[in-house]
Protein backbone atom coordinates (compact mmCIF):
# COMPACT_ATOMS: atom_id res chain seq x y z
CA UNK A 1 0.00 0.00 0.00
CA UNK A 2 1.20 3.50 -0.84
CA UNK A 3 -0.20 6.45 1.10
CA UNK A 4 -2.28 8.48 -1.32
CA UNK A 5 -2.78 11.65 0.70
CA UNK A 6 -6.26 11.56 -0.77
CA UNK A 7 -9.68 10.89 0.68
CA UNK A 8 -12.58 8.78 -0.59
CA UNK A 9 -16.20 9.17 0.51
CA UNK A 10 -18.26 6.01 0.00
CA UNK A 11 -22.00 6.06 0.61
CA UNK A 12 -23.83 2.99 1.83
CA UNK A 13 -20.49 1.63 3.00
CA UNK A 14 -21.59 -0.39 6.00
CA UNK A 15 -22.02 -3.65 4.10
CA UNK A 16 -21.94 -5.44 0.77
CA UNK A 17 -20.47 -3.54 -2.21
CA UNK A 18 -20.02 -0.29 -0.29
CA UNK A 19 -17.96 -1.98 2.40
CA UNK A 20 -15.83 -3.80 -0.17
CA UNK A 21 -15.17 -0.54 -2.04
CA UNK A 22 -14.27 1.36 1.13
CA UNK A 23 -11.85 -1.32 2.29
CA UNK A 24 -10.41 -1.78 -1.20
CA UNK A 25 -9.65 1.94 -1.42
CA UNK A 26 -8.14 1.80 2.06
CA UNK A 27 -5.86 -0.98 0.83
CA UNK A 28 -4.81 1.38 -1.95
CA UNK A 29 -3.90 4.06 0.58
CA UNK A 30 -6.95 6.31 0.50
CA UNK A 31 -8.26 7.71 3.75
CA UNK A 32 -11.94 6.80 3.82
CA UNK A 33 -15.20 8.36 4.93
CA UNK A 34 -17.74 5.64 5.66
CA UNK A 35 -21.35 6.71 5.22
CA UNK A 36 -24.34 4.76 6.46
CA UNK A 37 -27.95 5.71 7.03
CA UNK A 38 -28.94 3.76 10.15
CA UNK A 39 -26.51 1.03 11.26
CA UNK A 40 -23.72 2.98 12.95
CA UNK A 41 -22.15 -0.17 14.38
CA UNK A 42 -21.66 -1.59 10.88
CA UNK A 43 -20.16 1.69 9.63
CA UNK A 44 -17.84 1.91 12.64
CA UNK A 45 -16.68 -1.65 12.01
CA UNK A 46 -15.74 -0.76 8.43
CA UNK A 47 -13.89 2.36 9.58
CA UNK A 48 -11.99 0.33 12.17
CA UNK A 49 -11.06 -2.26 9.54
CA UNK A 50 -9.80 0.55 7.29
CA UNK A 51 -7.63 1.91 10.10
CA UNK A 52 -6.20 -1.56 10.45
CA UNK A 53 -4.97 -1.20 6.87
CA UNK A 54 -2.91 1.84 7.85
CA UNK A 55 -5.11 4.72 6.73
CA UNK A 56 -7.30 7.22 8.53
CA UNK A 57 -11.05 6.70 8.55
CA UNK A 58 -14.15 8.36 9.89
CA UNK A 59 -17.88 7.64 9.96
CA UNK A 60 -20.35 10.18 8.58
CA UNK A 61 -23.85 8.91 9.19
CA UNK A 62 -26.77 10.46 7.35
CA UNK A 63 -29.62 9.97 4.91
CA UNK A 64 -28.23 10.80 1.46
CA UNK A 65 -31.78 11.07 0.18
CA UNK A 66 -31.94 14.51 1.81
CA UNK A 67 -29.95 17.33 0.18
CA UNK A 68 -29.13 18.99 3.49
CA UNK A 69 -27.72 15.71 4.77
CA UNK A 70 -25.57 15.32 1.66
CA UNK A 71 -24.11 18.77 2.26
CA UNK A 72 -23.45 17.99 5.93
CA UNK A 73 -21.80 14.63 5.18
CA UNK A 74 -19.50 16.24 2.61
CA UNK A 75 -18.63 19.09 4.96
CA UNK A 76 -17.82 16.68 7.78
CA UNK A 77 -15.45 14.84 5.46
CA UNK A 78 -13.84 18.04 4.21
CA UNK A 79 -13.56 19.38 7.75
CA UNK A 80 -11.71 16.25 8.87
CA UNK A 81 -9.49 15.57 5.86
CA UNK A 82 -9.47 18.87 3.97
CA UNK A 83 -10.89 17.36 0.79
CA UNK A 84 -13.01 14.71 -0.84
CA UNK A 85 -10.97 13.51 -3.79
CA UNK A 86 -13.00 10.41 -4.64
CA UNK A 87 -16.79 10.19 -4.38
CA UNK A 88 -18.44 6.79 -4.67
CA UNK A 89 -22.23 7.02 -4.90
CA UNK A 90 -23.21 3.51 -3.87
CA UNK A 91 -26.20 3.89 -1.52
CA UNK A 92 -29.48 2.78 -3.07
CA UNK A 93 -32.98 1.50 -2.44
CA UNK A 94 -34.31 -1.34 -4.58
CA UNK A 95 -37.91 -2.01 -3.55
CA UNK A 96 -40.14 -4.32 -5.54
CA UNK A 97 -43.77 -3.27 -5.92
CA UNK A 98 -46.33 -3.26 -8.71
CA UNK A 99 -46.40 0.09 -10.49
CA UNK A 100 -50.10 0.73 -9.88
CA UNK A 101 -49.78 0.01 -6.16
CA UNK A 102 -46.89 2.39 -5.57
CA UNK A 103 -47.53 5.61 -3.67
CA UNK A 104 -46.09 8.99 -4.56
CA UNK A 105 -44.07 8.92 -1.35
CA UNK A 106 -42.54 5.55 -2.26
CA UNK A 107 -41.63 6.85 -5.73
CA UNK A 108 -40.02 10.00 -4.33
CA UNK A 109 -38.06 8.04 -1.75
CA UNK A 110 -36.39 5.89 -4.40
CA UNK A 111 -35.67 8.91 -6.58
CA UNK A 112 -34.12 10.80 -3.68
CA UNK A 113 -31.72 8.03 -2.65
CA UNK A 114 -30.97 6.36 -5.99
CA UNK A 115 -30.65 9.49 -8.15
CA UNK A 116 -30.84 12.80 -6.29
CA UNK A 117 -28.15 11.81 -3.77
CA UNK A 118 -25.61 11.47 -6.58
CA UNK A 119 -26.53 14.99 -7.71
CA UNK A 120 -26.27 16.66 -4.31
CA UNK A 121 -23.08 14.89 -3.28
CA UNK A 122 -21.43 15.72 -6.59
CA UNK A 123 -22.40 19.37 -6.14
CA UNK A 124 -20.89 19.34 -2.65
CA UNK A 125 -17.62 17.65 -3.64
CA UNK A 126 -16.93 18.94 -7.15
CA UNK A 127 -15.87 22.50 -6.23
CA UNK A 128 -12.93 21.15 -4.25
CA UNK A 129 -12.03 18.70 -7.01
CA UNK A 130 -12.08 21.51 -9.56
CA UNK A 131 -9.91 23.67 -7.31
CA UNK A 132 -7.31 20.90 -7.00
CA UNK A 133 -7.51 19.89 -10.66
CA UNK A 134 -8.12 16.23 -9.79
CA UNK A 135 -11.09 14.14 -8.80
CA UNK A 136 -12.88 10.87 -9.36
CA UNK A 137 -16.59 10.14 -9.16
CA UNK A 138 -17.86 6.58 -9.39
CA UNK A 139 -21.63 6.12 -9.64
CA UNK A 140 -23.56 2.87 -9.47
CA UNK A 141 -26.23 2.02 -11.99
CA UNK A 142 -26.96 -1.71 -12.28
CA UNK A 143 -28.95 -3.96 -14.55
CA UNK A 144 -32.01 -1.87 -13.72
CA UNK A 145 -30.43 0.90 -15.81
CA UNK A 146 -30.20 -1.43 -18.81
CA UNK A 147 -33.29 -3.62 -18.54
CA UNK A 148 -36.75 -2.57 -17.45
CA UNK A 149 -37.88 -4.93 -14.70
CA UNK A 150 -41.52 -5.46 -13.79
CA UNK A 151 -42.24 -4.19 -10.32
CA UNK A 152 -39.12 -2.03 -10.19
CA UNK A 153 -40.10 1.01 -12.22
CA UNK A 154 -38.69 3.67 -9.88
CA UNK A 155 -35.35 1.88 -9.58
CA UNK A 156 -35.05 1.56 -13.36
CA UNK A 157 -35.92 5.23 -13.87
CA UNK A 158 -33.51 6.42 -11.18
CA UNK A 159 -30.63 4.29 -12.41
CA UNK A 160 -31.19 5.45 -16.00
CA UNK A 161 -30.93 8.96 -14.58
CA UNK A 162 -27.64 8.15 -12.87
CA UNK A 163 -26.26 6.95 -16.19
CA UNK A 164 -27.30 10.20 -17.85
CA UNK A 165 -25.77 12.21 -15.00
CA UNK A 166 -22.53 10.26 -15.34
CA UNK A 167 -22.19 11.05 -19.05
CA UNK A 168 -23.05 14.72 -18.61
CA UNK A 169 -20.63 15.31 -15.72
CA UNK A 170 -17.87 13.40 -17.52
CA UNK A 171 -18.07 15.83 -20.42
CA UNK A 172 -18.36 18.94 -18.25
CA UNK A 173 -15.62 18.15 -15.77
CA UNK A 174 -13.22 15.99 -17.77
CA UNK A 175 -11.34 19.11 -18.94
CA UNK A 176 -10.81 19.98 -15.27
CA UNK A 177 -8.99 16.76 -14.40
CA UNK A 178 -12.03 14.93 -13.08
CA UNK A 179 -13.35 11.64 -14.40
CA UNK A 180 -16.89 10.40 -13.84
CA UNK A 181 -17.81 6.80 -14.52
CA UNK A 182 -20.46 4.28 -13.59
CA UNK A 183 -20.36 0.65 -12.56
CA UNK A 184 -23.26 -1.65 -13.41
CA UNK A 185 -23.17 -4.75 -11.20
CA UNK A 186 -25.05 -7.89 -12.05
CA UNK A 187 -26.43 -10.14 -9.29
CA UNK A 188 -24.03 -9.82 -6.37
CA UNK A 189 -24.00 -12.00 -3.27
CA UNK A 190 -25.24 -10.02 -0.25
CA UNK A 191 -24.52 -10.21 3.44
CA UNK A 192 -26.52 -12.94 5.11
CA UNK A 193 -28.65 -10.45 7.01
CA UNK A 194 -29.69 -8.84 3.71
CA UNK A 195 -30.54 -12.08 1.95
CA UNK A 196 -34.28 -12.16 2.62
CA UNK A 197 -36.38 -14.65 0.69
CA UNK A 198 -37.74 -12.18 -1.86
CA UNK A 199 -34.32 -10.71 -2.62
CA UNK A 200 -32.75 -14.16 -2.87
CA UNK A 201 -35.46 -15.31 -5.30
CA UNK A 202 -34.97 -12.19 -7.40
CA UNK A 203 -31.20 -12.63 -7.60
CA UNK A 204 -31.52 -16.32 -8.40
CA UNK A 205 -33.80 -15.54 -11.33
CA UNK A 206 -31.22 -13.13 -12.72
CA UNK A 207 -28.36 -15.60 -12.18
CA UNK A 208 -30.00 -17.88 -14.74
CA UNK A 209 -29.12 -15.23 -17.35
CA UNK A 210 -25.45 -15.06 -16.31
CA UNK A 211 -23.14 -17.13 -18.54
CA UNK A 212 -20.58 -17.74 -15.79
CA UNK A 213 -23.39 -19.33 -13.77
CA UNK A 214 -22.98 -17.62 -10.43
CA UNK A 215 -23.42 -14.43 -8.50
CA UNK A 216 -20.53 -12.02 -8.29
CA UNK A 217 -18.86 -10.92 -5.08
CA UNK A 218 -18.66 -7.41 -3.63
CA UNK A 219 -14.89 -7.61 -3.92
CA UNK A 220 -15.11 -8.23 -7.67
CA UNK A 221 -17.13 -5.05 -8.04
CA UNK A 222 -14.75 -3.15 -5.77
CA UNK A 223 -11.82 -4.15 -7.98
CA UNK A 224 -13.35 -2.17 -10.84
CA UNK A 225 -13.95 0.86 -8.64
CA UNK A 226 -10.33 0.72 -7.51
CA UNK A 227 -9.16 0.65 -11.12
CA UNK A 228 -11.28 3.67 -12.04
CA UNK A 229 -9.69 5.84 -9.35
CA UNK A 230 -6.16 4.54 -9.91
CA UNK A 231 -3.53 6.15 -12.16
CA UNK A 232 -4.19 3.37 -14.67
CA UNK A 233 -7.83 4.40 -14.93
CA UNK A 234 -7.19 8.06 -15.71
CA UNK A 235 -8.20 7.75 -19.38
CA UNK A 236 -11.52 6.07 -18.61
CA UNK A 237 -14.22 8.72 -18.52
CA UNK A 238 -17.97 8.77 -19.11
CA UNK A 239 -18.22 4.98 -19.24
CA UNK A 240 -20.47 2.37 -17.68
CA UNK A 241 -18.46 -0.72 -16.84
CA UNK A 242 -20.56 -3.84 -16.44
CA UNK A 243 -19.54 -6.36 -13.80
CA UNK A 244 -22.16 -8.99 -14.46
CA UNK A 245 -20.57 -12.24 -15.57
CA UNK A 246 -21.59 -11.66 -19.18
CA UNK A 247 -25.33 -11.22 -18.65
CA UNK A 248 -27.15 -9.96 -21.74
CA UNK A 249 -27.44 -6.21 -21.97
Ordered structural domains, the chain, with CATH = 7-243 (3.40.50.720)
Asked if pLDDT for residue 143 goes beyond 90, the answer is: no
Asked if pLDDT for residue 202 goes beyond 70, the answer is: no
Asked if pLDDT for residue 58 goes beyond 70, the answer is: yes
Q: Which of 67, 52, 19, 14 is nearest to 36 (CA)?
A: 14
Q: Which of 141, 147, 169 is nearest to 225 (CA)?
A: 141
- What confidence tier does 175 reach under pLDDT thresholds 50, 70, 90? very high
169: buried, middle or exposed (CB in 10 Å: 19+, 13-18, 0-12)? Answer: buried
pTM of the model: 0.94
pLDDT of amino acid 198:
66
pLDDT of amino acid 139:
98
- What confidence tier does 192 reach under pLDDT thresholds 50, 70, 90? low
204: buried, middle or exposed (CB in 10 Å: 19+, 13-18, 0-12)? Answer: exposed
pLDDT of amino acid 248:
72
What average pLDDT does range 237-247 have in this prediction? 95
pLDDT of amino acid 144:
73
- What confidence tier does 206 reach under pLDDT thresholds 50, 70, 90? confident
pLDDT of amino acid 2:
55
- What confidence tier does 209 reach under pLDDT thresholds 50, 70, 90? confident
Q: Which of 83, 7, 82 is nearest to 47 (CA)?
A: 7
Asked if pLDDT for residue 196 goes beyond 70, the answer is: no
Count of beta carbons in the 10 Å neighbourhood of residue 181: 24
Over residues 114-134, the pLDDT tens digits come to 999 999 999 999 999 999 999
Q: What's the whole-number average pLDDT of the chain? A: 93
- What confidence tier does 13 reach under pLDDT thresholds 50, 70, 90? very high
Burial code of 109-145, b = ≥16 C-beta within 10 A, e = fewer? ebbbbbbbbbbbbbebbbebbeeeebbbbbbbbbbbb
Amino acid sequence: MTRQGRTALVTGAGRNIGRAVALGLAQDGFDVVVNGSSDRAAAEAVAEAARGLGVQAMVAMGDVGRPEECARIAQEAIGRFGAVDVLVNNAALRPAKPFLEMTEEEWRQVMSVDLDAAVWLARACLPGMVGRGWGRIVNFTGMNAIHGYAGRAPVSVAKHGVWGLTKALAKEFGPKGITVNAISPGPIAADEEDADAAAAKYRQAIVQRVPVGRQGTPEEVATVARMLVSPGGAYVNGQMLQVNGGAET
